[in-house]
Structure 1
């Protein structure tokens, strides 16, 4: 061969070796998993968004419709208190068509609360009544085209009557209702009373481990640590709320199932005594402003409170309440554990600052 031809062949061979080496090197390099790369992991964190559920009660002077109209853009799920199970298994239907149509038009999921009249557990203890109740609930799903239900069965002990023994019956009710609703593609949620530092007389009916596979979202009602019949104290102390969230996960609910119940109210008691009553946060703050009352903040419980003199009796009264600051800290808890979101009890009791916080914390 001529020298030029040799040089060309050598160059060609060298190029081939370089390409082959490069291919071999590329083959040894593992393919990137888009779900585990730092960039996409950060994107996943950035796309996490807690959901906002708003409970709705109407009518009344502190009605919810005005708040629904004003703040619907911050709400994902609309959960009105419209359905009550009566002793014969029929349903008292108080569906407000105006509110229903408004919520649907604005693209909100409509998940009504379902409660029971007078803590009557016949809906659990009598199979005929239970089955009739479920049939009626399924029919109302079709009639109103609801997106699902939030079963809010709370049984408050009366005298010697205790409902803890109904625990398995409540689970059975939820299991049967789940079977009926699942083929319809409907959502089944539930509201439960927390277990930590709450009397088993009211919380023991909820078997978290058995209920967890049956519900889509559980509202953990993290309020009323102190309430009307108790002595004065915080409505939802932060450490108590945090411990109840962890307890709920330990007992079977997944973090993405848990919606943190947040309050928009407080209680007003005689100092150091029971016999208080609930008041909307907006009313509590309005009175404090009008009377020049100094609102204090408890570093121990992370909740505002104040003491004032009752002009009628001359005695002092003590007020504890949830505020925009406490809801901010509850949203931080939701973000800490990457929970489903917050469930607000209820529309109409809050101040505009609640929604400002929600708008800032939940984009």
Structure 2
């Protein structure tokens, strides 16, 4: 009888594995957290989201975790981040990328999804964040929808509390050759994250990374296309760009070379912490453009002797975007990325970092 009972138990266990309902005692056997309960999935129901992208996984312990509901690890996975996120009731997810060439292959999609479910279980995560930014013809858009829909179905079957999200280009339609069916994608996942940055493009003048008018047009275009506001999370930049000016025109307009060089000579990507250091030695001090509703300043490049102009966002300009997201009753707000601030402990840097995190309260209030 004992042997029969053992065989019956093993049969049930194998069946459980086959439908991906791994038992909690098995999952927690190698839990990396000091408290095994921290390996439990976050079970919070749908809520207002503060979606933080973590890229470098260096400063995570200094984030303002009282604000965060989801932490998306886009670089290295660290179990410490997962454990801490769970300790404050925040979901921890990682990036999901599927090769464009395999989208039309249903078997490849199924195999990949099975791997992602297993990875999410094994790492004690709470879901997956699709970061797919490749060009796609309109005739193939339904394959991407199928991938996201199949992933969401599998994830919710494995754990109804898991979360599947999708990052979008700032605009609907076919920007940069990305002809995605965003309305169907939004229906196929828990919510989509609007990457409302890199909107300034190249020349002929330096400009804001996220002009407020364009942000509004973008958000409202998604809504007009039939995506409910509670499916939209507005992600803003915690970085900016430094532009090399060929001439400084009237009203501090910086004329730049209108060529195909995105980074380097024409545009240089800068973290907010780097920007605030440059601002200390600027030739203009902080200026503000009412049209773009973004700050900027000029400084002299000591290496080349040329004038450069920096466009960025600070707590004031971001608070306007957070307030707008609230006024539209969006699902949430987020940022690329949480590591851009000054976590060095410097008094001024600490003050500015606190202001950046506190600005999020304009959405939550």
Structure 1 length-normalised TM: 0.73
**Aligned residue number for residue 132 of structure 2:** 153
Does the CA-based 8 Å contact 1:163-1:201 persist in structure 2?
no
Counterpart-to-counterpart distance in 2, 1:199 and 1:231: 25
Is residue 309 of structure 2 the alignment partner of residue 288 of structure 1?
no
Whether the 8 Å contact between 1:164 and 1:200 is mirrored in structure 2 is no
Q: Trace 1:338-353 onto structure 2 (pairs within 5 A).
A: 338-350=329-341, 351-353=353-355
Counterpart in the other structure of 2:163 = 187
CA distance in 2, matches of 1:126, 1:64: 40
Q: Secondary structure at the match of 1:348?
A: helix
Do the aligned partners of 2:283 and 2:300 also contact (CA within 8 Å) in 1? Answer: no
- Distance, in Å, in 2 between the alignment partners of 1:301 and 1:266 is 14
Identify which of 209, 215, 223 aligns with 2:183: 209
Mapped pair 1:124 → 2:97: no
Residue matched to 1:241: 215
Gaps of 5+ in 1: 1-48, 83-93
Among 62, 65, 74, the residue aligned to 1:72: 65
The 8 Å contact of residues 57 and 64 in structure 1, kept in 2 or not, is answered as no
CA distance change for structure 1 residues 194 and 294 in 2, over 3 Å: closer, same or farther? same
Aligned partner (choices 354, 357, 360) of residue 359 of structure 2: 357
Do 1:193 and 1:202's aligned partners in 2 also have CA atoms closer than 8 Å? no
2:81 equivalent among 95, 99, 102: 99
* CA distance in 2: counterparts of 1:173 and 1:359, whole angstroms: 35
User: In the alignment, what sits opposite 2:233?
Assistant: 259
- Cα distance per residue 1:286-327 (max 9 Å; x no partner): 211145641210011000111222121122212111211121
- What is the root-mean-square deviation in Å for CA atoms of aligned residues? 2.3
Q: Could you tell me whether the CA contact under 8 Å between 2:288 and 2:295 is conserved in 1?
A: yes
Give CA-to-partner distance per residue, 1:130-184, whole Å, 9 cap, x none.
Answer: 22211110111211222211111111x6xxxx65554222111112112211222
Between 1:228-237 and 1:186-195, the stretch displaced more is 228-237
Q: 1:56 to 1:239 in 2, by over 3 A?
A: same
Cα pair 1:228 1:267 within 8 Å, conserved: no
TM-score, scaled relative to structure 2: 0.73
Q: Give the aligned partner of residue 167 of structure 1.
A: 141
TM-fit CA distance, 1:66: 3.8
- TM-superposed CA distance for 1:259, in Å, is 0.4
Question: 1:345: how far off?
Answer: 1.1
Out of 294, 298, 303, the residue aligned to residue 307 of structure 1 is: 298
Secondary structure at 1:304's aligned position in 2?
Answer: strand
Q: Is the 8 A contact 2:233 2:333 kept in 1?
A: yes
SS in 2 for 1:282: helix
Asked if 1:220 is matched to 2:199, the reply is no
Deviation at 1:229, TM superposition (A): 8.5
- Gapped regions of structure 2 (runs ≥ 5): 1-46, 246-255, 342-352
Distance 1:255 1:314 in 2: 47
Instruction: Give the drift of 1:199.
Output: 6.0
| Mapped contact 1:122–1:129 kept (Cα < 8 A) | no
Larger radius of gyration: 1
Assess if the C-alpha contact under 8 Å between 1:194 and 1:203 holds in 2.
no
Contact 2:325–2:363, Cα closer than 8 Å, also in 1: no
Aligned length: 289
The answer for the alignment partner of 2:118 in structure 1 is 139
Secondary structure, counterpart of 2:53 in structure 1: strand
Question: 1:8 maps to which residue?
Answer: none
Give distance in 2, aligned partners of 1:227 and 1:130: 34
Contact 1:223 1:236 in 2 (8 A): yes
CA distance in 1, matches of 2:79, 2:320: 35
- Determine the structure 2 residue equivalent to 1:34: none
